Amino acid sequence: MNTETLSVSYPGGAVHGTVQLTGSKSESNRALILSALSKGKVRIENLSNADDTVTLQAILEALDTAAQETQTINVGPAGTAMRFLTAYLSTIPGNFLLTGSERMKQRPIGILVDALKSIGADIRYAEQTGYPPLEIKGGFIQTQPEVVIKGDVSSQYLSALLLVAAFLPEGLTLNITGTLTSKPYVSMTLDMLNETGISHEWQDNRIAVGKQQAKESVLRVEPDWSAASYWYSVIALSPLGSSLFLPGLKDRSLQGDRAIVDIMANFGVRSTFENRGVKIEKTEAGEGERFFDLKECPDLAQTVITCCAALGYDASFTGLETLKIKETDRILALQNELAKFGVELLEDKQVYHVKTAGRTKPKSTTISTYEDHRMAMAFAPLALVFEELIIEDPAVVGKSYPAFWEHLTNVGFELNHKHDLHTS
């Protein structure tokens, strides 16, 4: 366990500044796969510097399709890379052992593997059935032009298949069963395919992508709306008159997490798209919505729930089912950490209620991060409310937003790194 901790505090006053966010991790990882599949016809601008993207880029650059021996590929904790590479490696020549961190070996992948095997892919489980690591014999012979896949577990399974679909001998049609989770991420994948000249047909729960070639094109990655959400939380918890400018973000975005604009309007955060970015300002919070369906933007859950807790807002949430199979069980992690200052997150038949009646303000609060970047960044803005907030394992933010702590200091937060001798 990393025993470093970070003390985060805020000296007071309004928050002001400009925060230049990294490129979207979600867009970047899709772009890397498309660039690889197109053999470089698709070029990328403003690629994210998030650990997950750096990992995926390094893996793709190091692959040797002429190698005779099995190549071991370790994605570490990079979930998107695991899903996308499972599909990608199946389509290219070679023998691969695809593995990851211990937590990655606990994250299910059977639905994607079953879908790929149903069209001819040669994939075996090296350890536990349904979970990484995977033994992949690439360059499979396609046996079916269609696949049936559940849509209510992870949209990344669908995106992994859609990214490779046009490059298969017969293309691929996805027949999606159940409710589609995180639909904006599927739309993002299809929009990015379209930008490279690859068309599709989407009718009801059926998405068809014919065999096609990618054209010479440039994918310019937009800044990351998921990362922007933490700054929305900062402004929501700041005094009146606070404002930040986030360059490069678009009102009409491919990213589902743009929903943070509408969610945080309920907490007194006004967004104005201007000067090729968005200005966010703290205004008087009205009687806004207190029931949120996050099915299409589950990565915002930790940000919004912790913000409600800090503001003392009782609220209810749906669409959180996928949080239990992320970097950690995010529901349990939130319940544990919110309890440290008297806030409850209660589950009632897939509806989750934030209850703040017992909320306290301890002199110092230590937040465990569970090897989860979003736990660290979702709780950090609470330093505006608490006298001292201590974040365990602060380096975990590198997974999606390496400059996060630096950006916090740029707008006036005070940070103090410590090394804890206790590892319990």
Which residues lie closer than 8 Å to 203 by C-beta, 6 or more apart?
Answer: none
Contact 320/331 with Cβ under 8 angstroms? yes
| Nearest-angstrom CA–CA distance, 404 and 390 | 15
DSSP reduced 3-state for 292: strand
Query: Residue 265: which region, alpha, beta or left (left: phi > 0; alpha: psi -120 to 50)?
Result: alpha
Q: Is residue 348 flagged as an active site residue?
A: no
- DSSP bridge partners of 16: 243
Query: Count of CB atoms within 10 A of residue 353's CB?
Result: 14
DSSP 8-state code for residue 307: H
Residue with tokens 């309007």: 265
Contact 110/131 with Cβ under 8 angstroms? yes
| Nearest-angstrom CA–CA distance, 212 and 121 | 20
Contact 256/184 with Cβ under 8 angstroms? yes
Q: E-strand spans in 178-242?
A: 201-203, 206-209, 217-220
Q: Which of 299, 314, 329, 348 is catalytic?
A: 299
What amino acid positions are annotated as catalytic residues?
299
